[in-house]
Structure 1
Amino acid sequence: MKHVSFSARLVMVGCGSIGQGVLPLLLRHIDLAPSQITIVNSDERGRAVAESMGVTYLVSPLTRENFREILSPLLGAGDFLLNLSVDVSSVALITFCRELDALYLDTCVEPWAGGYTDTTLSASERSNYGLRESALALRESGNAGPTALITHGANPGLVSHFVKQALLNLAQDTGLVTTVPTTRAEWSALAQTLSVKVIHIAERDTQVADIPKERDEFVNTWSVDGFVGEGCQPAELGWGTHEPAWPADARRHAFGSGAAIYLERPGASTRVRTWTPLEGPFHGFLITHNESISIADYYTVKNGEDVAYRPTVHYAYHPADDAVLSVHELAGKNWQMQSRTRLMMDEIISGTDELGVLLMGHAKGAYWYGSRLTIDEARSLVPYNNATSLQVTAAVLAGVIWAMENPRAGIIEPDGIDHERILEITQPYLGEVVGVYSDWTPLRDRGRLFPEVLDEAEPWAFGNFRVV
């Protein structure tokens, strides 16, 4: 089914696993010809897929010095820049698109190459919090101009829409009579009324391959460069008003909304306890993501200048087992990258990516809502995808369609757009979309081997997660 027609040009920057996986979806659901699409990539990785569909493919690595020269002939007013790259500044591309009056979408706010690990910058400056603030600072008065939908992949992106649907489900199941909120103030008031204290983006990837990880190799089910980059950034989380204790290595930011904090350690070295319905309890990495900040910010309630309510929000990610081994090896080498990388795709033989949001602290305990997509389902739905990439590419497709339908929304985040429209487009590609209640808390079975000092009165507090 074609959701929307688009007569202008679409330029895709980057063509790794997500670029290759989203291309058939764009041609399936948007009325545009392959001749309208140009891919600009830093290497040859996606050429065969692109040219098999009749799409123009250019190898032209973008830098601070050349990106305008390369992109200017390809883009103009009304065209669309789909940024799926790494090591290319999102802020630079957003600024460029606003000058041209072109539409824009990305899946994360990227710095130029080396920005994630540039130790000449403070941890705050190279955090996702800092990158987000730099993108939002481009908003003009009234936030007019062409739509630039930032950070709209699976997470960040799709999970923000899961949060809204989960809140509505909770409201219904707890007997709270409410209409669907239409404003940020109404959504945040609903979360406060429901007493949602903590939101995890809780993900467990169980995909396995028939080729095991080798020594000095980083293996992952989605972009290796993207995962390593964000894993080396400081661990970050939205900081809730209910939190009774302050983590020892936590720091506040001296600028911006104040909705989040960071820890002086890499996210890929920080583990937290979480829960998903299929896996049950597990340790996830506290990887920094834009949604940890944007969701906490969006659901903040203020009395004047004082923050009256804000949930704690963070990612808790257990990637595929071979990716965990890869992270362990990376950390052991003091974050010096392995010499070889491999994206798991055709060699995957089984497994599921269970991605959702876990809302805790409310009257019904814990509620997980999200997608459970198997590798077999993903392969039957769209070529050039695995279970992880399809959750991302479906969300990219939905974001592109929403931007085309709403071309004058200015710079906007997933939390601020229509969740029902996004879920309508993505649901056919998400496998089993479910909501599951649980009585699990981070205190469950703690101290079983050795005694621990825990604050039983605050089972949802971040301090009780005992980051290790």
Structure 2
Amino acid sequence: MKINVKDSIAERLMKTGAAVGPTSQSSGPLAKLMTTSRSSSTNTASTESSDASDDDVSSGPVVSSMSSPPELEEEKVEWQRQHHPAVVDVPAGQKNLVHAVIDGPLVIIGLGSIGRGVLPLIERHIRLTDRDSFIVIEPSDEFAHILKRHGIRHLRKALTPENYEATLRSLFPTKKSDAGGGGVGGENGMIVNVSVNVDSVAVMSLAQKLGVLYVDTVIEPWPGVYFGSKLSNAERSNYALRENMREAGRKYRGGTTAVSGCGANPGMISWLMKEALLRLARDTGVDLSSSNPVTREDWARLAMTLGVKGVHVAERDTQVSSRPKPPGVFVNTWSVDGLLCEGYQPAELGWGTHERRLPRTGHRHVFGPGHGIWMDRPGGDTRVRSWVPGVGPQLGLLITHNESLSIADYYTVREEEVGTTSPNGGGGRVVYRLTCHYAYHPCNDCILSLYETNGSGVLPVKKHILTAEEIVSGNDDLGVLLYGHARGAMWYGSRLSIDETRRLVPYQNATGLQVTSAILAAMVWAIENPRVGFVEADEMDHVRCLQIQRPYLGSVECHYTDWTPLRDRINSFSEEEDRDESDPWQFTNFLTR
């Protein structure tokens, strides 16, 4: 039967929640390359995999939890053929899994690349008992047609310090439990904050009063902190923002769950960190049969036992557009505003106990637990040597990220002393902490955009986020590079291609899907654990979260390498003054000048 597919059909499919592509495995040379074990004298890899039944969570989403009416089935298949040529049919015997139910309102703040991308995942995997209470707050109407297509209410408003409380209160008019107590699961509703310039702690605290669940991807302040601020660089740091969040969270212990900083990184990367430690323990013969890590202290002692000196959040984005970047336009694969904000904060990292000296522009904080340092230079113009699979050695940007601080804080071992406490739950003198920082190589268009912005000294006016339709090839490889242990260095993470992303979901590229699938996992975990107060990804059940997210991560791989930051240097100029030949894993060996 030949069907003339029109926009109205696509709209009808979207309104019924019909999936636009199955979660079949990638095909072709790239997919075969990604799922084949690698080995060489300097690099060995293995791909994590498991057998999955039709009902197993690891089998990918194929049909929406809101199934299509029978009369639309043929139209759906034809629509998929025309809009996603790689998809010829919906594989038999597979289905989406509804992971959780929200009985109250669901309010999403922001409809940028991440806000748009998370919509189909919510529709596939979370059942809303009151569809009319699904609301997106977004001041722009640029993508209002998407909300109309999905039948989602659009509140066109910018949240400000003056109006956010009244606005959000009006959307959660009734509570099924006392304020601050939280309902069972999602019965009081949920706020998902994927915006910029909306203060995370303010909204998290209001969510406690309303008794609604909360998830965000970053600790965001109100406007005026990142640019044009009279605050010192230390006060503009993520360390300061995180300490403010942690302090606020102490008021709400046992309150409604509020997940802070849970996208790809921060977020997923903390769950992969735990899998990586377990893999390293297995591969180095550390017996965990009688001492499987459970608590924060257990995980920190495991990292210390394994001899892990530090971890890079090592990322390489190789996605390429079909069009060259025009001069004067800042191009990225995710939020340009988000990248600019963190790129012009001071470079930051979690500071390990093995480090011998601060970098030349490094400073310790004079408040809080002291697990991080900041540098008197912007992260978007600070480079570190790192390593990722496929590419090998690379220079990454030392952009500040919350996980750099939360991971260092989480993997801290203290010598217990009677009568003393620490912010991470232990007491006494620090005897072990690992170093942690971001080492990010964004897409080539973004690198050029940063170069232009740094050169001009003026923030860009024209901004563009690459869509899945524009990108012709490439991956986002995002993982943890654990170093300093018995095997040297190990990268463990997600390698997701744009081709597979297009088969899985609409509205996003590979970078976005790693973020939005983590948001989905955080939403489900919050519904299942509704009374833990403020929480970070490190403190969540990594097994459950990755069980939800893994179908969207492409190939999850483990790579060992004998690379160190002292290898294969071209020059011997003044930066060599900072070399430490006695320990290749000193931070000063990673940092370039």
Q: TM range, normalised to the smaller chain?
A: over 0.9
Shift of 1:35: 2.3
Cα gap change, 1:142 to 1:109, in 2 (>3 Å): closer
* 3-state SS of 1:433 partner: strand
2:522 pairs with 1:399: yes
Shift of 1:253: 1.1
Q: In the TM superposition, what are the counterparts of 1:370-449 in structure 2 within 5 Å?
A: 370-446=493-569
* 3-state SS of 2:195 partner: coil
Shift of 1:447: 5.2
2:368 pairs with 1:256: yes
2:309 pairs with 1:186: no
* 3-state SS of 1:200 partner: strand
What is residue 156 of structure 1 aligned with on the other side?
A: 266
Shift of 1:50: 1.7
Q: In the TM superposition, what are the counterparts of 1:198-217 in structure 2 within 5 Å?
A: 198-217=310-329
Query: How many angstroms apart in 2 are the aligned matches of 1:466 and 1:259?
Result: 19
Query: How many angstroms apart in 1 are the aligned matches of 2:485 and 2:228?
Result: 40
Moved more, 394-403 or 438-447: 438-447
Q: In the TM superposition, what are the counterparts of 1:265-280 in structure 2 within 5 Å?
A: 265-280=377-392
Query: How many angstroms apart in 2 are the aligned matches of 1:140 and 1:464?
Result: 38
2:343 pairs with 1:231: yes
Query: How many angstroms apart in 1 are the aligned matches of 2:372 and 2:308?
Result: 17
2:471 pairs with 1:359: no
- TM-score normalised by structure 1 residue count: 0.98
**Is residue 187–residue 299 contact of structure 1 (8 Å, CA) maintained in 2?**
yes
Deviation readout 1:19-38 (Å, 9 max, x if unpaired): 10000000100111542310
Q: How many residues align structurally?
A: 467
**Is residue 199–residue 312 contact of structure 1 (8 Å, CA) maintained in 2?**
yes
Cα gap change, 1:234 to 1:371, in 2 (>3 Å): same
The letter for the 1-side match of 2:370 is G
**What CA RMSD, in Å, does the superposition of the two structures yield over aligned residues?**
1.3
Shift of 1:467: 2.7
Q: Which of 237, 257, 262 pairs up with 1:127? A: 237
Query: How many angstroms apart in 1 are the aligned matches of 2:450 and 2:333?
Result: 13
**Is residue 252–residue 534 contact of structure 2 (8 Å, CA) maintained in 1?**
no
Q: Which of 438, 446, 451 pairs up with 1:323? A: 446
What is residue 108 of structure 1 aligned with on the other side?
A: 218
* 3-state SS of 1:144 partner: coil
Shift of 1:449: 5.7
**Is residue 160–residue 295 contact of structure 1 (8 Å, CA) maintained in 2?**
yes
Deviation readout 1:302-356 (Å, 9 max, x if unpaired): 114321001110000000000000000111122x211200110021111100000
Deviation readout 1:370-418 (Å, 9 max, x if unpaired): 0000001001001111000000000000000000110101000000010
Query: How many angstroms apart in 2 are the aligned matches of 1:44 and 1:180?
Result: 50
Query: How many angstroms apart in 2 are the aligned matches of 1:429 and 1:419?
Result: 15
Query: How many angstroms apart in 1 are the aligned matches of 2:522 and 2:171?
Result: 21
Deviation readout 1:120-163 (Å, 9 max, x if unpaired): 11111111111111111112367120000000000000000010
Moved more, 179-188 or 450-459: 450-459
Query: How many angstroms apart in 2 are the aligned matches of 1:116 and 1:44?
Result: 26
Q: Which of 188, 203, 227 pairs up with 1:93? A: 203
2:591 pairs with 1:466: yes
- TM-score normalised by structure 2 residue count: 0.77
The letter for the 1-side match of 2:559 is V
Query: How many angstroms apart in 2 are the aligned matches of 1:257 and 1:410?
Result: 21
Query: How much identity, in percent, do the aligned residues show?
Result: 51
What is residue 20 of structure 1 aligned with on the other side?
A: 116
2:412 pairs with 1:297: no
* 3-state SS of 1:139 partner: helix
Query: How many angstroms apart in 1 are the aligned matches of 2:309 and 2:255?
Result: 35
**Is residue 208–residue 252 contact of structure 2 (8 Å, CA) maintained in 1?**
no
Moved more, 390-399 or 38-47: 38-47
Query: How many angstroms apart in 2 are the aligned matches of 1:311 and 1:249?
Result: 20
The letter for the 1-side match of 2:395 is H
Query: How many angstroms apart in 2 are the aligned matches of 1:373 and 1:45?
Result: 28
Shift of 1:463: 0.6
Query: How many angstroms apart in 2 are the aligned matches of 1:151 and 1:362?
Result: 28
Query: How many angstroms apart in 1 are the aligned matches of 2:252 and 2:506?
Result: 41
2:155 pairs with 1:58: yes
**Is residue 117–residue 126 contact of structure 1 (8 Å, CA) maintained in 2?**
no
* 3-state SS of 2:226 partner: helix
The letter for the 2-side match of 1:169 is R
Q: Unpaired runs of 5+ in structure 1? A: none
Shift of 1:117: 2.1
* 3-state SS of 2:248 partner: coil
2:465 pairs with 1:340: no
**Is residue 330–residue 337 contact of structure 1 (8 Å, CA) maintained in 2?**
yes
Query: How many angstroms apart in 2 are the aligned matches of 1:166 and 1:154?
Result: 16
Is the radius of gyration larger for structure 1 or structure 2? 2
